[in-house]
Amino acid sequence: MTNYDLVVIGTGSGNTIVNRRFADWKVAIVERGTFGGTCLNFGCIPTKMFVHAADVAATPGVSSRYGVDEQLLGVRWTDVRDRIFGRIDPISAGGSEHRHHNPDNANVTVYDGTGRFTGFKELTVDNKDGSTSVFSADRFVIATGSRPIVPPIPGLRETGFHTSNTIMRLDELPRRIAIIGSGFVAAEFAHVFAAFGVEVTIVARSKELLRPEDGAIAARFTEIAQSKYDVRLNHETVRVARRDDGSILVSMLHPDGSDELIVDELLVAVGREPNSDLLDLDATGVEVDHEGRVVVDAYQQTNVDGIYALGDVTNPHQLKHVANHEARVVKHNLLNPDDRIESDHRFVPHAVFSSPQIASVGLTEEQAQERGIPYVAAIQRYADIAYGWAMEDTTGFAKILADADTGQIIGCHVIGPQAPTVIQPVIQAMSFGLDAYTMARGQYWIHPAMPELIENALLKLPLHPES
């Protein structure tokens, strides 16, 4: 049996580990799907490219408030789609080609297939060509990511549906689409399709959209979404069926009775689950938690010495920047086993590229209250800063929370234009221990730019200069 120094399972962030520093290692890489992982092929990058096109398409709908009259003449869906995947697909193919044939990877063997453990540190791969490969390794990196959850709705599989993996490859825009789910995937695709002229209905079991966000953010986003789309809250989908004319009947229950909806396409966006169940981890003794995530320590190592894990298969954040950080930690620890470093998950930011955009880092106000942390909070509206006047934004705001005793920022939440960019200075301040008062007073803030939103929120915090 062939024995490798290192086997990496998954070519998302896991593929970034093996570089020239591993030139004297015997390495195997296993990939069951498409090189590049979810972010490149199905997630972060293509969705945000669609979102930008949607932002452009939505501009005429609001331009009149500035005294500019514009019209959207049409959306060439296939042109939008092909521009995006015309850039992404070659990158994925190039990544595969590089690993398979580039001389720099002479020490790397690529297995195109599904791997599963069949013994202690022994992997069996069912290759796409029908063959089977069995090998062992001293070290493994599990980076298999996650996949969309398919809920057990009667009739769903028979009717046919889309997930975030397939919805962007449609051949034509539907007239009507239902999105089952209330999270960030639902929010982003609702914006995309509505901006392109599709009638969008969001079916949510919860009482509001984006519930994990700070309460004020979730409430504001739900209010705005209800003005843009058909949002059916507290609705549970109980059955779907294909009608004779090809349309889809969605049957729902809500507290006051039943409801029905007829659409042309159905997007299921109720969450994601880790791909750990595909690996038969029991065979090698690797532990998973009650949600199927691989359990790791601060060094990203599992309970089995020499087996590491990173990304969606092990952490609940499901964010590319987190997976990349963990990959850097794993790479260092593989190369420096006597001088290992720990992952830093203290201040993990995230963003929702919806309309409006949302960004968040740290604790929500509800979490601070639940944990009994003494805090002060302040809210600054876009409408009350000069650039907000220019944009005529009347709904966006930033909320900042700080420790009442130390002045250290413990959370920040923004809803409004360019929220993921506006929040970045706060992430930096939290990461490097800069207190709110010093952050506000100890630097210049460009006037009249959008970061003044953060400056003014900081200045509103009831903190002492000594804090």
pLDDT mean over 123-129:
97
Contacts of 32 by beta carbon, 8 Å cutoff, 6+ apart: 112, 113, 114, 115, 278
Q: Are 347 and 362 in contact (CB under 8 A)?
A: yes
Q: Is 185 annotated as a binding residue?
A: yes
Give catalytic status of residue 52 as yes or no. no
| Domain boundaries 2-148+273-335, corresponding CATH code | 3.50.50.60
Q: Are 185 and 350 in contact (CB under 8 A)?
A: no
Q: Is 37 annotated as a binding residue?
A: no
Q: Which of 321, 325, 447, 464 is catalytic?
A: 447
Q: Is 166 annotated as a binding residue?
A: no
Q: Is 397 annotated as a binding residue?
A: no
356-460, what's its fold?
Enolase-like; domain 1 (3.30.390)
| Residue 463 confidence (pLDDT) | 83
Q: Which of 124, 141, 121 is nearest to 296 (CA)?
A: 141
Does the structure show a pLDDT above 90 at 20?
Answer: yes
Q: Is 182 annotated as a binding residue?
A: yes
Q: Is 48 annotated as a binding residue?
A: yes
Segments making up each domain of the chain, as ranges: 2-148+273-335, 156-270, 356-460
Q: Are 324 and 16 in contact (CB under 8 A)?
A: yes
Does the structure show a pLDDT above 50 at 467?
Answer: no
pLDDT mean over 104-117:
96
Q: Is 145 annotated as a binding residue?
A: yes
pLDDT mean over 371-385:
97
156-270, what's its fold?
FAD/NAD(P)-binding domain (3.50.50)
Give the percent of the chain with pLDDT over 70.
99
Q: Is 237 annotated as a binding residue?
A: no
Q: Is 186 annotated as a binding residue?
A: yes
Q: How many residues does the chain have?
A: 467
Does the structure show a pLDDT above 70 at 465?
Answer: no
Q: Which amino acid is at 150?
A: V
For the segment 322-341, what is each residue's pLDDT rounded down to a tens digit? 999 999 999 999 999 999 99
| Residue 435 confidence (pLDDT) | 96
Q: Which of 316, 336, 359 is nearest to 451 (CA)?
A: 359
Q: Which amino acid is at 271?
A: G
What sign for the dihedral angle of Cα 176, 59, 81, 357? negative
Q: Is 308 exposed, middle or buried (0-12, 13-18, 19+ CB in 10 A)?
A: buried
Q: Is 181 annotated as a binding residue?
A: yes
| Residue 13 confidence (pLDDT) | 97
For the segment 416-425, what is each residue's pLDDT rounded down to a tens digit? 999 999 999 9
Q: Do 2-148+273-335 and 156-270 have matching folds?
A: yes
Taking the C-alpha atoms of residue 422 and residue 418, their distance in angstroms, rounded to an integer, is 6
Q: Are 59 and 71 in contact (CB under 8 A)?
A: no
Q: Is 359 annotated as a binding residue?
A: no
H or E element, residue 49 = helix 44-58
Does the structure show a pLDDT above 90 at 466?
Answer: no
Does the structure show a pLDDT above 70 at 464?
Answer: no
What sign for the dihedral angle of Cα 315, 321, 203, 219? positive
Angle at 225 between CA 220 and CA 230, to 5 degrees: 145
pLDDT mean over 440-458:
97
Taking the C-alpha atoms of residue 316 and residue 232, their distance in angstroms, rounded to an integer, is 27
| Residue 442 confidence (pLDDT) | 95
